[in-house]
Amino acid sequence: MRKIDLGQALEIIASVGVLVGIIILIIEVGQNTDMLQAQMHQDRAETAMAQAESVYNSEHIPEIFVAIRQGKPLTDVQTERFTAYIRAFHRNQDNLLRQYQQGLLNEDIPRAIRDAVQVELAEREIAREIWERTRVSYTDDYVILVDEVIAEYVDGATPD
């Protein structure tokens, strides 16, 4: 039988140590990925809550929504406020689409974005007008998605 000398024993121990280290590193990377995804979901929830707060804590936005719903014209100041609101909405949706395309968000994101765009934009003529003025501010993929949603809404909204 062959004896293992001290050098060989140290090489085997070092190799096992490296292997254990790699396994631990893989586990830690997986845990970090899970934590980052959880943080991203938390950030999305906080963004949604902040948007809701901007409406219900505002002295102005609810009256703008009511005026739009009732078909009343907005004042210049109301239009500016609504434009800022819509631009923030689009920036958030554009960001979500980009994160989805990078593989960071779930498969339900495109559907959720389409639904949100229809409610916030397609169903409100003034929001569509704002979109036409500001669309150059967003990524090409987001512009394509929004234009598709608007086209689908307009085609579906026209009487046969």
The answer, as to whether pTM is greater than 0.75, is no
pLDDT of the residue at 52: 75
Handedness of CA 142, 147, 152, 156 (dihedral sign): positive
- Which of 5-9, 44-48, 95-99, 119-123 is least confident? 44-48
Phi, psi of 157 (to 5 degrees): -90, -15
Average pLDDT of the chain, as a whole number: 86
Question: CB of 109 within 8 A of CB of 97?
Answer: yes
What's the length of the chain?
A: 160
For residues 93 and 151, give the distance between their C-alpha atoms in angstroms, rounded to a whole number.
Answer: 18
User: Where residue 159 falls among pLDDT bands split at 50, 70, 90?
Assistant: very low
Residue among 64, 60, 41 nearest 120 (CA):
64
